[in-house]
Amino acid sequence: MNLTKEEEKMLGGEFGKGTQKAIELLVAIGDAYDAEMMIPIARAHAASSGQEGDLYFVELLASGGAKCRVPTSTNPVYDIEFFHRMFEIPSDEAEVARRVMEAYKRVGAILSWSCLPYLTENVPLFGETVAFSESSATPYVNSVIGATTNREAAQSALAAGVVGRTPKYGLHMKENRKGTVLIRVEATLKDSFDYTLLGQFVGEQIGYGIPVLTGITRRPSTEELINFCAMSNTSGAVSMFYIPGFTVEAQTVEEAFQGDVPTDNITVTEAELEHTWEELQTTSGKIDFVMLGCPHYTLKQVEEVARLLEGKKIHGGVSFWICASATTKTLAKRMGYIDTIEKAGGNVVVDTCIDEPCWTVYKDKVGMTDSPKCAYYRRFKDVVVAGLEDCVEAAVRGKYE
């Protein structure tokens, strides 16, 4: 790669050991992808977690004096104090999480602990070059906002935040932002759970690629787009997609494919969505807990839960959890939603990912969630996956049938 004088100095250690380690990683990635140069970024989002691999790299940079040069937000870990009060958490696990959170503070990251930073704490602008990791974040930023990012790891995104640059390859180049597969949506998409199933199906079908979706006649809501992004980039590796007319970068199918529209396509009818839904279920009947907020719930979704729970009581045998950002919870509290949910027996937790050891207590229990990503990562004993209304109704009744 051709490096600038400043980048050479970083690589030579003149900006400190931490920055040197960060740029070493970026140069290695750039070399692997035959990138010719680095390009400046406006912001980054590191998909941090309370796990050993993450701890190693962020402490390596922090101990070497690295500081983020551009706004760099963080993914959820868990609210250690809160969960210590609720459950037994092995002390070595809690120590890893504590050290991760401390190290991100030392490198000057925005301590958002949220998987939707692109909505509030660290919002890219159209046309910006950024380095965002996290399943929903990468496709949302590329497709809905129209900034450019590769499908970063926590480490490469943090390194980019420290160096303020990223290697120029992949989705930072127009020719690589070309659609690869045509998806004809014939199913009627009623709500955000249908977008969840659509994302799950598309990711499973195409694996790695850039789908171009046609047949969607109503503008999808923010939550519907988030769900499509999170699920297609979990069941598959979908860093970008097009819904011509609704996503920003291409107004027509031809534009999305850069003139090269494929003759083959994948058709999605109600039958495919139904089959996708059936495949996600491992049980029905009595449930032990409901887990919502993977990705983190928005204010609108928290409001919806409060509305559905108004005047009701969650069944005594069911624990009810919603994960959301601190920003969302603050507003939801102010607006009375948190009081309604807590009065019904539910909990809204901040800073927390469902894929963390704080939930180990539920390992052998039967869970219900509206997120296939949650079901996949938590590997509960058994799981029911259904839309929000069904989750709330089952929480009140203690069972899903």
Q: Which residues bind ligand F3S (CB under 6 A)?
A: 75-76, 115, 230, 294-296, 323, 353-355, 373, 377
For the four alpha carbons of 102, 104, 110 and 114, in that order, the dihedral sign comes to negative
Q: Which is nearer to ligand F3S, 50 or 244 (CB)?
A: 50
Tell me the C-alpha distance between 347 and 291, whole Å.
10
Shortest Cβ 138–ligand F3S spacing (Å):
12
- Terminal C-alpha separation, the chain: 59
**Pick 75 or 298: Cβ nearer ligand F3S:** 75
Q: Which amino acid is at 186?
A: E
**Least distance to ligand F3S from the beta carbon of 180, Å?**
24
Distance of closest approach, residue 50 Cβ to ligand F3S, in angstroms: 11
Q: Are 196 and 234 in contact (CB under 8 A)?
A: no
Identity of the residue, 15 or 289, whose beta carbon is nearer to ligand F3S in the bound complex: 289
What angle do helix axes 17-32 and 154-163 make, rounded to 10 degrees? 120
For residue 139, say if its preceding peptide bond is cis, omega within 30 degrees of 0: no
* CA–CA distance, 233 with 193 (Å, rounded to integer): 16
- Minimum distance of ligand F3S from residue 140's CB (angstroms): 12
* Neighbour tally for 389: CB within 10 Å: 14
d(CA 219, CA 304): 20
Look up residue 156 and give its DSSP letter.
Answer: H
**Residue whose token pair is 């799981």:** 383
Shortest reach from residue 293's CB to ligand F3S, in Å: 6
8 A C-beta contact, residue 134 and residue 95: no
Residue number, 246 or 377, with CB nearest to ligand F3S: 377
CB of 76 to ligand F3S, least distance (A): 5
Q: Which helix (H) or strand (E) holds 320?
A: strand 319-324
Query: Judged by CB, which is closer to ligand F3S: 27, or 197?
Result: 197
The smaller minimum CB distance to ligand F3S, of residues 198 and 323, is found at 323
CB of 234 to ligand F3S, least distance (A): 8
Closest CB to ligand F3S among residues 80, 250:
80
